Amino acid sequence: DTAVSQTPKYLVTQMGNDKSIKCEQNLGHDTMYWYKQDSKKFLKIMFSYNNKELIINETVPNRFSPKSPDKAHLNLHINSLELGDSAVYFCASSLTWDQPQHFGDGTRLSIL
């Protein structure tokens, strides 16, 4: 079983639409993260939740809203999608926030 799983794997949509990406981890970890990897492969953290509580919120447009219904799930909702949102979005988790992070397989978002 995949330890950190994301759905969908691919997301192709039009500018202006709203979309969600889901993430689930079965590792029993307390901390979950969202990262964005741009076309130049640069990885940058967006958000982090610890036990359902937001602990990192980088300078991300407020069109991006994470939600953690429980500590095993962290979803990302994006409103009014823009061309610049095209990227691969990775979910990750760690036992606690100072332990190694393990990544999911990513969601490739393409905006037409």
Partner 1 sequence: GENVEQHPSTLSVQEGDSAVIKCTYSDSASNYFPWYKQELGKRPQLIIDIRSNVGEKKDQRIAVTLNKTAKHFSLHITETQPEDSAVYFCAAERAGGTSYGKLTFGQGTILTVHP
From 21, 24, 48, 66, residue interacting with partner 1 (rule: CB under 8 A): 48
**Does the protein bind partner 1 through residue 94 (CB under 8 A)?**
yes
Tell me how far apart the alpha carbons of residues 52 and 67 are, in angstroms, rounded to a whole number: 8
Q: Residue 46 is inside which H or E element, if any? A: strand 43-50
**Does the protein bind partner 1 through residue 25 (CB under 8 A)?**
no
Phi, psi (5° rounding) for residue 18? -110, 135
Token pair 């990513």 is at which residue?
106
Least distance to partner 1, CB of residue 18, Å: 25
Tell me how far apart the alpha carbons of residues 85 and 23 are, in angstroms, rounded to a whole number: 18
From 15, 27, 55, 112, residue interacting with partner 1 (rule: CB under 8 A): 55
Residue 89: CB atoms within 10 Å = 22
From 1, 14, 39, 41, residue interacting with partner 1 (rule: CB under 8 A): 41
**Does the protein bind partner 1 through residue 39 (CB under 8 A)?**
no
Which stretches of the chain bind partner 1, using CB under 8 A? 31, 33, 40-45, 48, 50, 55-56, 90, 94, 96-98, 100-106
